Amino acid sequence: NAEYMGESSLNAFTMAKTESNKGEASSGVGKKRAKQSKQQLSPTTVFIGFLVFLAAVILLVLYDPQSLSSQGLAAAARDPPPKKSDIKSEVIYLPENCPRKSKEGDKLTMHYRGSLITGAVFDSSYDRGTPFTFTLGAKQVIQGWDVGLKDMCQGEKRKLTIPPHLAYGDRGAAGVIPPHSTLLFDVELVQFD
């Protein structure tokens, strides 16, 4: 029986260690070792360690609340920060007058048509007749939009080609967008604040 063998080995080790300690006890070395092995962490030390751990978790959550989710941890481990060069952006229309361009933190109102490489349209604000409003850079939309819609003029139209890692990745979306899909968006910046 493996469990019995483990207990026998442990008992034999304990007995041998005890015999060894008996020999050292007369010299004083054994007494010192016995005293050290009986020392435990004080409750105060354990409590301070717990407080340090708790403070670290709180700081992590305050810095990035999604970092504690399994998806957040996995994404952080595998996804490099997005770059504008990851997205193909083609300007379809650029107004002559462009006093200001969109930047992170701006509230953008966009018309868009999203499609797969096959040409199948999966969503369109044009069809609904209602543009979509969000804050650029606030992670309210796919990363491809947060990156690809920067530096747009009001009234500008672009065609974006967004790779899977800046769209819905290996999970897809709502049964409409398959996993690992490159997405095409015709976008128009209606207005921004």
Q: Catalytic positions, please?
A: 112, 122-123, 142, 168, 185
CB contact at 8 A, 151 and 103: yes
User: What is d(CA 138, CA 192) in angstroms, rounded to the nearest whole number?
Assistant: 15
Under a CB-based contact definition with an 8 Å cutoff, are residues 88 and 148 in contact? no
Amino acid at 166: L
Instruction: Report the alpha-carbon distance of residue 186 to residue 172 in Å, rounded.
Output: 20
Residue 135 amino acid letter: T
The torsion of the CA quartet 154, 160, 164, 165, rounded to 10 degrees, works out to -50
Q: Please check whether residue 157 is in contact with residue 188, taking contact to mean a CB–CB distance below 8 angstroms.
A: yes
Q: Extract the runs of DSSP E, i.e. beta strands, from 44-83.
A: none
- Number of Cβ within 10 Å of residue 86's Cβ equals 17
